[in-house]
């Protein structure tokens, strides 16, 4: 049970922070299917920064990891400006923009990774090797039966994600900016009538989405993948979108959906080990969160209530 909880949380929390980014974007009225691409480009930027500075620190140092997190946030934010520019400035179709950005991110990061490895490091490789982040255990709390697993073998990024998630919740529901953002997704004309520029609010929301997606991407790179490569693009962004939809575009219910996906994945792996099944079955377990997504879609999608102006191109002259 402890292993299921530990591994489940390490998968669910990066997924959760990406989903919060999606909530910010979609609550403002901008459909964001680009989370997968923002995650990947952010992870690429962070991984590149980590491998460039790794030689200046001892092999056991955590400094490159924290530098990678910062640059992943920056990379995801900058790349999200493409989506914002297309959707807000040029009023492009938001769904098509998101899909194109995902394809662009995969192709661009794959090309750049190979070129940088060849020219800078003199190695023919399509990945940046990062290793696995160090873990920590909270004394005392970790000895509590079952619940203690939450405080055992924690990745540092899990603590960072919990703190950022709380800040994101506070900003969304307890600040004036959060109120304006939510209003932009329901009635942007009312926001405009109040003297607030809808485009600027939506731009900020998309940039937050990029920042949090990049953070989630580098967390996956330092835990599940232990490197940056095309393995980052395996549907985690779409899984985050599914989680926020099942969470009805609310942060706390979305956390529940992410935990469900995480525990389904880790529980499946553990079941394969207990039954002593061939290792090839572990690959099959990876589909469990997606199967769960389909089932939830069948039973709960009719109860979802998306923001009323979600995906609607804002025209200031239309009333």
Per-residue pLDDT tens over the stretch 179-198: 999 999 999 999 999 999 99
CB 35 within 8 A of CB 29: no
pLDDT at residue 303, as a whole number: 74
Evaluate whether residue 268 is within a structural domain. no
Which is more confident, 282 or 113?
A: 113
Mean pLDDT score, 284-296: 78
Residue 59 sits in which domain range?
13-133+150-250
Evaluate whether residue 143 is within a structural domain. no
Confidence of residue 279 (pLDDT cuts 50, 70, 90): low
pLDDT at residue 2, as a whole number: 82
Residue 245 has pLDDT above 80, yes or no: yes
Residue 61 has pLDDT above 90, yes or no: no
Per-residue pLDDT tens over the stretch 8-33: 999 999 999 999 999 999 999 999 99
Residue 302 has pLDDT above 80, yes or no: no
pLDDT at residue 300, as a whole number: 72
Evaluate whether residue 306 is within a structural domain. no
pTM for this prediction: 0.94
Evaluate whether residue 274 is within a structural domain. no
- Average pLDDT score over the chain: 91
Mean pLDDT score, 287-311: 81
Strands (E) located in 250-306:
none
Mean pLDDT score, 140-165: 90
Evaluate whether residue 138 is within a structural domain. no
State both tokens at 131. 């290793």
Evaluate whether residue 23 is within a structural domain. yes
Q: Looking at residue 232, what DSSP letter applies?
A: G
Evaluate whether residue 1 is within a structural domain. no
The Cα–Cα gap between 158 and 57 comes to 23
Region label for 248, one of left (φ > 0), alpha (ψ between -120 and 50) or beta (otherwise): left
Mean pLDDT score, 216-234: 90
The Cα–Cα gap between 195 and 140 comes to 53
pLDDT at residue 272, as a whole number: 78
**Structural domain count, the chain:** 1
Residue 83 has pLDDT above 80, yes or no: yes
Burial class (CB in 10 A: 0-12, 13-18, 19+), 313: middle
> Interior CA angle at 39 toward 36 and 42, to 5°?
145
Instruction: Of 76-80, 107-111, 186-190, 297-301, give the lowest mean pLDDT range.
Output: 297-301
């Amino acid at each position: 049970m402890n292993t299921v909880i530990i591994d489940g949380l390490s998968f669910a929390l990066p997924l959760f922070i990406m989903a919060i980014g999606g909530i910010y974007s979609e609550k403002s009225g901008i459909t964001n299917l680009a989370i997968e691409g923002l995650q990947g480009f952010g992870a690429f930027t962070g991984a590149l920064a980590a491998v460039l500075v790794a030689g200046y620190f001892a092999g056991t140092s955590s400094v490159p990891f924290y530098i990678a997190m910062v640059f992943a946030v920056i990379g995801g934010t900058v790349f999200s400006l493409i989506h914002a520019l297309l959707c807000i400035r040029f009023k492009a179709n938001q769904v098509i923009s998101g899909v194109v950005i995902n394809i662009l991110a995969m192709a661009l990061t794959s090309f750049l990774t190979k070129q940088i490895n060849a020219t800078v490091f003199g190695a023919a490789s399509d990945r940046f090797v990062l290793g696995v982040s160090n873990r920590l255990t909270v004394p005392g709390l970790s000895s509590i039966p079952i619940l203690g697993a939450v405080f055992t073998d924690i990745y540092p990024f899990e603590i960072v994600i919990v703190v950022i998630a709380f800040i994101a919740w506070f900003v969304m529901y307890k600040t004036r900016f959060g109120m304006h953002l939510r209003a932009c997704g329901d009635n942007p004309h009312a926001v405009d009538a109040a003297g607030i520029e809808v485009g600027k609010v939506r731009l900020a929301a998309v940039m937050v989405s990029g920042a949090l997606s990049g953070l989630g991407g580098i967390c996956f790179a330092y835990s599940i993948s232990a490197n940056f490569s095309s393995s980052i693009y395996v549907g985690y962004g779409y899984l985050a979108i599914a989680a926020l939809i099942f969470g009805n575009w609310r942060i706390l219910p979305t956390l529940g959906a992410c935990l469900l996906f995480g525990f389904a994945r880790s529980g499946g792996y553990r079941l394969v080990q207990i039954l002593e099944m061939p290792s090839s079955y572990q690959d099959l377990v990876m589909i469990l969160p997606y199967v769960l997504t389909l089932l939830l879609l069948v039973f709960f999608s009719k109860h979802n209530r998306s923001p009323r102006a979600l995906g609607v191109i804002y025209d200031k002259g239309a009333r």
